Amino acid sequence: MTNLSNSVQLIGNLGADPEVKVFDNGSTLCKLSLAVNEYFKDSNGISQKRTNWMRVAAWGKTAEHMVSILNKGNRVAINGKLVNRSYEDKEGRKRYATEVYANQFINLTPATQKDNLPF
């Protein structure tokens, strides 16, 4: 059960094409914006839908595979972990971000020309 201590599983749709960055040391970073819908009934019993936008990042081979097969609108299952980080913005203020670091994904959108295998 120790692997469950920081485990996230999400299913959602990409809000934009994956962003990729290749660093000087050769490592690859892929960033995604994932829309995850939540359905519930409000206090009046009326069905509601809430969309939560998740920041997803992946490194290495997982990032390379994401960039090669995912596009805006694709439905994707993500398995990963939550990571908190801090950075300074352009004005020098400290900012905080929570992201999902993906270590596996499955493209749930029906395949056309590319394989739809988990990575």
Backbone phi, psi, residue 63, to 5°? -60, -45
What CATH number is attached to the domain comprising 20?
Answer: 2.40.50.140
Question: 112 lies in a domain?
Answer: no
Question: 53 lies in a domain?
Answer: yes
Question: 28 lies in a domain?
Answer: yes
Question: 81 lies in a domain?
Answer: yes
Q: What is the mean pLDDT of each run of 10 residues along the chain (119 residues)?
A: 81 97 96 96 94 97 95 96 94 96 94 52
> What is the DSSP code string of 36-55?
EEEEEE-TTS-EEEEEEEEE
Question: 78 lies in a domain?
Answer: yes
Q: Which long-range contacts (CB under 8 A, 24 or more apart) does 50-54 make?
A: 53/15, 54/10, 54/12, 54/100
Question: 118 lies in a domain?
Answer: no
- The domain in which residue 90 lies consists of 2-39+48-107
pLDDT at 113: 45
Q: How many domains does the chain have?
A: 1
pLDDT at 110: 82
pLDDT at 13: 97
Q: What is the pTM of this model?
A: 0.80
Question: 65 lies in a domain?
Answer: yes
Query: Any idea what the Cα angle at residue 62 is, between residues 119 and 31, rounded to 5°?
Result: 125
Q: What radius of gyration do the chain's Cα atoms show?
A: 16
Question: 20 lies in a domain?
Answer: yes
Instruction: Give the three-state DSSP class for 72.
Output: coil
